[in-house]
Structure 1
Amino acid sequence: MGSLQLKSIRKAFGNHEVLKGIDLEVKDGEFVIFVGPSGCGKSTLLRTIAGLEDATSGSIAIDGQEVSNTPPAKRGIAMVFQSYALYPHLTVKDNMGLGLKQAGTPKDEIEKRVAKASSMLSLEPYLARRPAELSGGQRQRVAIGRAIVREPKLFLFDEPLSNLDAALRVQTRLEIARLHRSLKATMIYVTHDQVEAMTLADKIVVLNAGAVEQIGSPMELYNRPANMFVAGFIGSPQMNFIDATRLGESGAKSIGIRPEHIALSRESGDWKGKVIHAEHLGADTILYLETETTGLLTVRLFGEQHYHADDIVYASPDRASLHRFDGDGRAIR
């Protein structure tokens, strides 16, 4: 079991309040990801769950047991850090088993757990090596293996892929997804990368300035953002926001439309404009337009499209995909 309940969690450093009353329930076996811009409080919240930071107020319960005053080692959690945190003089095998050894776990049990974790992570050929002999991706897998052998109630990941290059991030992301399915474990994961959040999470928690903006599944946040902050944060390229008065829309302050929900034509359409920059990515073509009606507009087209800077074009939004927001930035349903 690995459920988690947070009630009114606040954290302040002096007069600066970093977490502003966080309420969250994580079910056993869920993969929950905290996302938000730098400084939003996501890593502080994770460290507070782990017990590495003390909450100023509020309660933390794991499997229904209050742990706010319980030391980290007694909370039944295992944490994977961005920096790997491996001992350079120990082998892979000894790094993975060290925590169990320090806890007094019998040697044969340590051997069994390390063997199981190394098999899951394809680390068997590297057990006798030291961290300096490994790639960045292999070191991160050792750090994950060290967490697995503890058989925790909760796995906590603090931006574990940010030190890896693009190809390794994709590979390790797939391994973490596979591990979650295999272990059926509860995982809480912090990232600033929305692609990681959208592809890994059962549930995403969007944080901003220490407060929760919205909680939901990836597609709930994509299709039904609660406000302009979530709408702009989830989705790449970012949603276009247009002054509603420029479109003759009544009852709304702003209109949002995602770049992928705009069609383009050279002949006719709703908004006439000029291409000011084109990004040809192969699988996608991203165009930046200046239109008479909307101002700057981003359009995402599937595949290679032969538009170039200074082309005159017509953009037409999918009306069913428009998002409407009030003067406070809240979605109008």
Structure 2
Amino acid sequence: MGSLQLKSVRKSFGNVDVIKGIDLDVKDGEFVIFVGPSGCGKSTLLRIIAGLEDATSGSITIDGAEVVTVPPAKRGIAMVFQSYALYPHLTVKDNMGLGLKQAGAPKEEIEKRVSKASAMLSLEKYLARRPAELSGGQRQRVAIGRAIVREPKLFLFDEPLSNLDAALRVNTRLEIARLHRELKATMIYVTHDQVEAMTLADKIVVLDAGVIQQVGSPMELYNRPANLFVAGFIGSPGMNFIDAERLGVTDAKTVGVRPEHLTLSRESGEWQGKVVHVEHLGADTIVYIESEKVGSFTVRLFGEHHYEVGDTVYATPAAGQTHRFDANGRAIR
């Protein structure tokens, strides 16, 4: 079991409030991802759950047991950091089993768990190597393996892929997703990369300035953002925001439409504008447009499209794919 409950969790550094009253329920076996901009408090919140930072106030329970005063080693958690934090003089095998050895586990049990974890992570042929003889991706797999052998109630990941190149990030992301399915473990994962969040999470927690802005499945956040912040943070390129008055919309302050929910034509459409920049990405074409009616906006088209800077174009929002927000930035349902 690995359920987690946070109630009114706060963290202050002097007069600065970093975490401002977090309430959150994580079910056993869920993959929950904290996302948000730099400085939003996501890593601090993860460290509070781990016990590496003390909460200023509030309650933290793991499997129904209060752990606020429990030291990290006794919380039943294992953490994978951005840095691999491997001992350079130890082999892969010894790095993975060190925590169990320090806890006094029998040698046979350590051998069994390390063997199982190394098989899951395809590390069997590297067990005799030292960290310097491994690639960055292999080192991160060793760090993940070290967490697996502890068989924790909670796995905590703090931006574990940020030191890897793009190809390795994709491969390791797939491995983490597979591990979650195989282990059926509760995982809490911090990232600033929304692609990781959208592809890995059962549930995403969007944070800004120490406050939860919205909690939901990836597609709930994409399709029904609670406010302007979530609408702008989830999705790439970001949602277009237009002053509602420009569109003659009287029951909202702001209208939002995602770049992929706009069609583009050279002949006719709702918003006339001129192309100011084009990004050809192969699978997608991103077109940046200036319009007298709605201002600047972006269109994302599937596949390769041949637009040039200066072209006159017409954009039209897809039916039922616009979002409305009130003067306080809250979504109007």
Normalised by the shorter chain, which TM-score bucket? over 0.9
2:119 is the alignment partner of 1:119: yes
Tell me whether 1:303 sits opposite 2:294 in the alignment.
Answer: no
Separation in 2, partners of 1:125, 1:273: 59
Which residue is equivalent to 2:87? 87
Counterpart Cα distance in 2 of 1:129 and 1:267: 64
* SS of residue matched to 2:320: helix
Residue 63 of structure 1 is matched in structure 2 by: 63
- Whether 2:73 is the aligned partner of 1:78: answer no
State the distance in 2 between where 1:23 and 1:271 align.
43
Counterparts of 1:11 and 1:77 in 2: how far apart (Å)? 20
Q: Could you say what secondary structure the match of 1:246 adopts?
A: helix
Per-residue deviation, residues 51-73 of structure 1 (Å, max 9, x unmatched): 00000000000000000000000
Q: Which residue of 2 aligns with 1:276?
A: 276
Structure 1: stretches of 5+ with no match in the other structure:
none
Match in the other structure for 1:143: 143
1:17 aligns with 2:8: no
Which amino acid is the alignment partner of residue 93 of structure 2?
A: K
Question: How far apart are the structure 1 equivalents of 2:148 and 2:309?
Answer: 52
The equivalent residue for 1:326 is 326
CA distance in 2, matches of 1:11, 1:116: 38
Q: Secondary structure at the match of 2:113?
A: helix
Classify the secondary structure of the residue corresponding to 2:83.
Answer: coil
Q: Which residue of 1 aligns with 2:314?
A: 314
Matched letter for residue 222 of structure 1: Y
Q: CA deviation at 1:279?
A: 0.3
Q: Report the residue type matching 2:275 in the other structure.
A: V
Q: Does 1:291 align with 2:291?
A: yes
- The percentage of counterpart residues that share the same residue type is 82
Displacement of 1:21 = 0.2
Partner residue, 2:42: 42
1:182 aligns with 2:182: yes
- Which whole-Å CA distance do the structure 1 matches of 2:225 and 2:63 have between them? 30
* CA distance in structure 2 between the aligned counterparts of 1:304 and 1:59, rounded to whole angstroms: 52
How far apart, CA to CA, are the structure 2 residues paired with 1:291 and 1:170?
Answer: 37
TM-score (norm 2): 1.00
Q: Distance in 2 between matches of 1:12 and 1:45?
A: 12
Task: State the one-letter code of the partner of 1:256.
Answer: G
Partners in 1 of 2:87 and 2:14 — Cα distance? 34
Q: Does 1:256 align with 2:241?
A: no
Paired amino acid for 2:71 = P
How far 1:291 moved relative to its partner? 1.1
Q: Runs of 5+ in structure 2 lacking a partner? A: none
For each residue in 1:83-110, what CA deviation from the matched residue of structure 2 results, as whole angstroms up to 9, or x when unmatched?
0100000000000000000000000000
Q: 2:157 aligned with 1:131, yes or no? A: no
What is the letter of the counterpart of residue 143 of structure 2?
A: A
RMSD over aligned CA atoms reads 0.4
| 1:176-225 Cα distance to aligned partner (Å, 9 max, x none) | 00000000000000000000000000000000000000000000000000
SS in 2 for 1:143: helix
Match of 1:100 in 2: 100
**Displacement after TM superposition at 1:308 (Å):** 1.5
Name the stretch that deviates more: 45-54 or 305-314: 305-314
Partner SS, residue 11 of structure 2: strand
Read off the aligned partner of 2:224 and give its amino acid letter.
Answer: R
2:107 aligned partner, one-letter code = K
Deviation, structure 1 residue 319: 3.1
Shift of 1:141: 0.2
Distance (Å, rounded) in 2 between the aligned partners of 1:165 and 1:137: 9
Aligned length: 333
Amino acid at match of 1:108: E
**3-state SS of paired residue (1:145):** helix
Q: The residue matched to 2:111 in structure 1 has which SS?
A: helix
- Could you say which residue in structure 2 is the equivalent of 1:238? 238
Q: Describe the SS at the equivalent of 2:268.
A: coil
User: Which letter does structure 1 place at the counterpart of 2:140?
Assistant: Q
3-state SS of the aligned residue for 1:316?
strand
Write the distance in 1 (CA, Å) between the matches of 2:293 and 2:85.
53
Distance in 1 separating the partners of 2:71 and 2:245: 55
Q: CA deviation at 1:306?
A: 1.0
CA distance in 1, matches of 2:63, 2:239: 39
Q: CA deviation at 1:309?
A: 1.0
Task: Report the counterpart of residue 157 of structure 2 in structure 1.
Answer: 157
Match of 2:212 in 1: 212
**What code does the residue aligned with 1:8 have?**
S
Q: Distance in 2 between matches of 1:38 and 1:306?
A: 36
State the distance in 2 between where 1:108 and 1:309 align: 68
For 1:147 and 1:34, the matched residues in 2 are separated by: 19
State the AA in 2 paired with 1:209: A
